[in-house]
Chain A
Amino acid sequence: MTPPDPATPAHGAREAAPRAAAPRTAPGAPAAGADTGEATGPGATGPKARTAAPAPTPRTVWRRSRGLLICLGILIVAAVALAALTTGSRHGRLDPRSADPDGSRAVAELLRARGVTTRVVTTAREAAAAAGPTTTLLVTDPDRLGESELRAIRSAIDLSGGRTVLLSPGSPSLPDLAPAARTKGTAFDRNLDPGCTLPAALSAGRAATGGDHRYTTDGATGTACYPSGGHPTLLVLPSGTTGGDTVLLGSETILLNKKLASEGNASLALQLLGTRPDLVWYLPSPAEAQDEDPAREQSFLDLLPRGWSWALLQLLTAAVLAALWRARRLGPLVTEKLPVAIRASETTEGRARLYRKAGARDRAATVLRAATRERLAALLGVPPTQAHDPAALLPAVSARLTERQPDLPGLLFGTTPTTDAALVALADHLDALEREVRTS
């Protein structure tokens, strides 16, 4: 975009120039008034004006990164706190080896005392392999099982002929594991009465089976106990194989260490789990899905909700817009011719480097001696033309010195020093001689 009428601003500029020029175009004016003592001006800022942009000091670096560090600190503290809060209570839940309030070591110990061996497995394949007519398979969290695990457990239930105890199975797992049963709302009362003819329930009496799922069955098969509002929380279903059965327990409370001693919990738990000599305690683990079935491995993007890829696309659009925003300059760069920067002393320094490279001790000694002779001659009143004449200079010098210098001719008119150290010493001796003549 160019101004449609460039003459207008240009005209204004030219018009303004003479007016503004009056106070500034006369830098000699203060000088002309120098009689009044006005002498120094603010013109001495030249070297200062050439300083480069300041390098960041530690202080500025700290100031810049401080916000980021604080954010990072808050993030770490929050993560640690969150991890501590969430894992603390859940650790070892329903684990027969855990003595935590939420663990189940107490019931496992009681079973061991009655001759039941407990074996902990963490994968469905192991659980299915271990199941048999003489085993009780306890599935602690059926709802967490994937499809292949559910299949494995289902086949174990169908084929083993032993007992399978499912702890509070919900709608995700029931169709696979116990197709005859369905959930039917929540049991609000915690402690419930047996209300059935199951021997184990009768001898145990009141127990904490409520507080979670209630069930209902399609057919008349199975025994329904501990009803809450008409629907049972404990369901014993016969499985396909003779002698096998499946126990659906509406709540896991009776197995927990903290609740085992109250009501008839311990009795019910021992009778449900102790009917076979072996107990397979299946704790599903989060890593199981991948171990069990590599084909089900999912990429990170598969795990994200579907909308995220679209959000990412929109973010890319935003990034392109941000790039366009930053790329647009506020006007082009301004170029300028730079002055040459050559130091005036460059040739002299180059000569010094040449001397050193060539090891020119003879030249250096000659030059230094000649310069000293000329200065001495000026100090002693010897004519400059005779400065380099030993016959004229040496008597004058020795006459001036208080003590005799034995090697005066060698110092002022001697031969080339043979080593570098000798040349350095020669320079120092010439200085000392000149100082002595000057002060004497």
Chain B
Amino acid sequence: MALTGRAALLAALGSLPVGILEPSWTGMLAVNGALALACAADYALAAPVRRLTLTRSGDTSVRLGEPAEVHLTVGNPGTRPLRARVRDAWPPSSWLPGTETGASRHTLVVPAGERRRVTTRLLPTRRGDRKADRVTIRSYGPLGLLARQGTHTVPWTVRVLPPFTSRKHLPSRLARLREMDGRTSVLTRGEGTEFDSLRDYVPGDDTRSIDWRATARGHSVAVRTWRPERDRHILICLDTGRTSAGRVGDAPRLDAAMDAALLLAALASRAGDRVDLLAHDRRTRAQVQGRSAGDILPAFVSAMATLEPELVETDARTLVSTILRNAPRRSLVVLLTSLDAAPIEEGLLPLLPRLTQRHTVLLASVADPRVKEMTRSRGTIDAVYEAAAGTQSQTTRRRTAEQLSRHGVHVVDATPDTLAPSLADAYLSLKAAGRL
């Protein structure tokens, strides 16, 4: 039950007859009794909320930054028309701040025995699952004095996927991949290690690639061609521990790491490699295994959608053992973690030999442009101390990277907007060098 402003206004206007005509309890009773009677009649004539049928349809997933539309169909099986104000409640991050009230409320008229559809437009501001909350309906009577109010639960979930902003870098990297593949007009000898086919010798070919045995069998000189390795296994490991929660610019490190992982997955699946995903801190948070090339990206984004940084220290021991379990044969292990000295030196470094003896390890880390900015500050004593602190942390980072390099780990350290292309380039150069 809910009163309306109209009832309050009528009660206020009632003070005129009470004050002028009948200033007594009788007058009060007459005015308020009439008002109460009208309210009761209104309540009785309002369509009941409980018997309405509500169904949802619409988008179930949306990329971050894009709008999603969820439809709510309200059926009125009763005999009285429904005049209602509907609030389709969703968590606050489903809308831009300040627009929630306007976006979630609808005014609705459903004649008796009919159905009407309202559309709630969501514009989520964060990744993850948005679950619909209750639907509250306020059904007004014909006089608009009193309304019935009730709540229905109509479950629906919209999964907000990572935006994958780095996909703009994909075409240029695919072009480089095709170049390496020998599919373009540029005739460079593939530096891969896999035998592809034999063809006739043309002047200019490397004489070392002449296949003498085939030449002896045939009438012309034959050369072997090679193609880059295919069907290699790549395991992308996202560290979701405490170091991934730190915000660089306006987004957590984890978001930049996801973006880079998506670009790498898209590129590697096009290059014919198999890509798996593992998100781990103290335990495994998400895992994608053995998907076909066309299925990789949807599987990755929906696995990543619900990942949030956990405020725990990453357990390097279980991380390494999980990687070893998931990568039975020689793989490229891409670790997306941080280059902070303490977690690396105490956690990962002692365990690295177990990884590097079987796999190629590539470690990518999100650098903070703010630290670089700090190293350049000059002029005042505070600024110089900032510069010293920034330089110190950069030096420590570089030392850690050098230590990792000595263990045979390839390190990519880049700011959020350059991390994805840098990681893709590192992958391409490893592939070109036949190191997978």
B residues 372-395 in Cβ contact with A at 8 Å: 374-375, 378-395
Once the chains are docked, how many angstroms separate the CA of A343 from the CA of B163? Answer: 21
Once the chains are docked, how many angstroms separate the CA of A334 from the CA of B394? Answer: 43
Closest to A420 in B: B381
Question: B residues within 8 A CB of A24?
Answer: 59-62, 68
Are B55 and A9 interface neighbours, CB within 8 A? yes
What is the distance, in angstroms, from A155's C-beta to the closest C-beta of chain B?
39
Once the chains are docked, how many angstroms separate the CA of A34 from the CA of B250? Answer: 27
Given contacts A12-B55, A321-B11, A336-B93, contact A370 B395 (CB under 8 A): yes
Question: A residues within 8 A CB of B49?
Answer: 1
* A348 is an interface residue with CB less than 8 A from chain B: yes
Are A363 and B23 interface neighbours, CB within 8 A? no
What is the distance, in angstroms, from A190's C-beta to the closest C-beta of chain B?
39
B residues 37-54 in Cβ contact with A at 8 Å: 49-54
Are B65 and A352 interface neighbours, CB within 8 A? no
The interface bits of chain A over 255-292 (1 if a CB of B lies within 8 angstroms of the residue's CB, else 0) are: 00000000000000000000000000000000000000
Are A321 and B8 interface neighbours, CB within 8 A? yes
* A381 is an interface residue with CB less than 8 A from chain B: no
Are A340 and B311 interface neighbours, CB within 8 A? yes
Once the chains are docked, how many angstroms separate the CA of A424 from the CA of B380? Answer: 6
Q: How large is the interface on B (under 10, 10 to 19, 20 to 34, 35 or more residues)?
A: 35 or more
Question: B residues within 8 A CB of A351?
Answer: 389, 392-393
Question: B residues within 8 A CB of A335?
Answer: 91
Are A39 and B19 interface neighbours, CB within 8 A? no
* B126 is an interface residue with CB less than 8 A from chain A: yes
Question: A residues within 8 A CB of B62?
Answer: 24
The interface bits of chain B over 16-45 (1 if a CB of A lies within 8 angstroms of the residue's CB, else 0) are: 101110011001100110000000000000
A residues 14-47 in Cβ contact with B at 8 Å: 16-17, 19-21, 24-32, 34-35, 37, 39-47
* B282 is an interface residue with CB less than 8 A from chain A: no
* B125 is an interface residue with CB less than 8 A from chain A: yes
The 4 closest A-B pairs by CB, nearest first: A28-B297, A311-B19, A1-B150, A331-B136
Are B246 and A13 interface neighbours, CB within 8 A? no
Are B8 and A315 interface neighbours, CB within 8 A? no
* 26 A-B contacts (beta carbon < 8 Å): A1-B149, A2-B150, A3-B50, A8-B53, A13-B57, A25-B302, A39-B167, A43-B165, A306-B23, A314-B11, A314-B12, A314-B28, A325-B8, A330-B87, A331-B151, A332-B89, A336-B92, A342-B247, A344-B247, A345-B248, A346-B246, A351-B392, A352-B374, A355-B385, A356-B382, A368-B391
Are A27 and B297 interface neighbours, CB within 8 A? yes
Give the number of residue pairs across the A-B interface with Cβ within 8 Å. 324
Closest to A346 in B: B246
A residues 123-165 in Cβ contact with B at 8 Å: none
The secondary-structure label for the interface of chain B is mixed
* B90 is an interface residue with CB less than 8 A from chain A: yes
B residues 261-311 in Cβ contact with A at 8 Å: 262, 266, 294, 296-298, 300-302, 308-309, 311
B residues 359-375 in Cβ contact with A at 8 Å: 366, 368, 370-371, 374-375
In the complex, which of the residues A310, A347, A364 contacts B384, with contact meaning CB atoms closer than 8 Å?
A: A364
Are A328 and B66 interface neighbours, CB within 8 A? no
Once the chains are docked, how many angstroms separate the CA of A30 from the CA of B164? Answer: 11
Q: How large is the interface on A (under 10, 10 to 19, 20 to 34, 35 or more residues)?
A: 35 or more
* A79 is an interface residue with CB less than 8 A from chain B: no
* B252 is an interface residue with CB less than 8 A from chain A: yes
* B152 is an interface residue with CB less than 8 A from chain A: yes
Question: A residues within 8 A CB of B3?
Answer: 321, 324-325, 328
Given contacts A307-B20, A308-B19, contact A343 B53 (CB under 8 A): no
The interface-forming segment of A50-58, A215-223, A224-232, A395-403 is A50-58
Residue from B18, B253, B301, B302 having most chain A Cβ neighbours under 10 A:
B18
The interface-forming segment of B154-162, B185-193, B201-209, B319-327 is B154-162
* B245 is an interface residue with CB less than 8 A from chain A: yes
Residues of A whose CB lies within 8 Å of any CB of B are 1-4, 6, 8-10, 12-13, 16-17, 19-21, 24-32, 34-35, 37, 39-47, 49-54, 305-315, 317-319, 321-322, 324-325, 328, 330-332, 334-336, 339-349, 351-353, 355-356, 360, 363-365, 367-368, 370-371, 420-421, 423-424, 427-428, 431
Given contacts A27-B297, A31-B297, A321-B3, contact A53 B98 (CB under 8 A): yes
Are B97 and A9 interface neighbours, CB within 8 A? no
Question: A residues within 8 A CB of B245?
Answer: 339-340, 342
The secondary-structure label for the interface of chain A is helix
Question: A residues within 8 A CB of B89?
Answer: 331-332, 334
In the complex, which of the residues B98, B149, B392 contacts A367, with contact meaning CB atoms closer than 8 Å?
A: B392
* B111 is an interface residue with CB less than 8 A from chain A: no
* B174 is an interface residue with CB less than 8 A from chain A: yes
Once the chains are docked, how many angstroms separate the CA of A30 from the CA of B170? Answer: 11
Question: A residues within 8 A CB of B112?
Answer: none
In the complex, which of the residues A10, A310, A346 contacts B19, with contact meaning CB atoms closer than 8 Å?
A: A310
Are A311 and B18 interface neighbours, CB within 8 A? yes
Are B92 and A30 interface neighbours, CB within 8 A? no
Question: B residues within 8 A CB of A13?
Answer: 55-57, 154-156
Given contacts A347-B393, A367-B392, A371-B391, contact A21 B60 (CB under 8 A): yes
Question: A residues within 8 A CB of B375?
Answer: 371
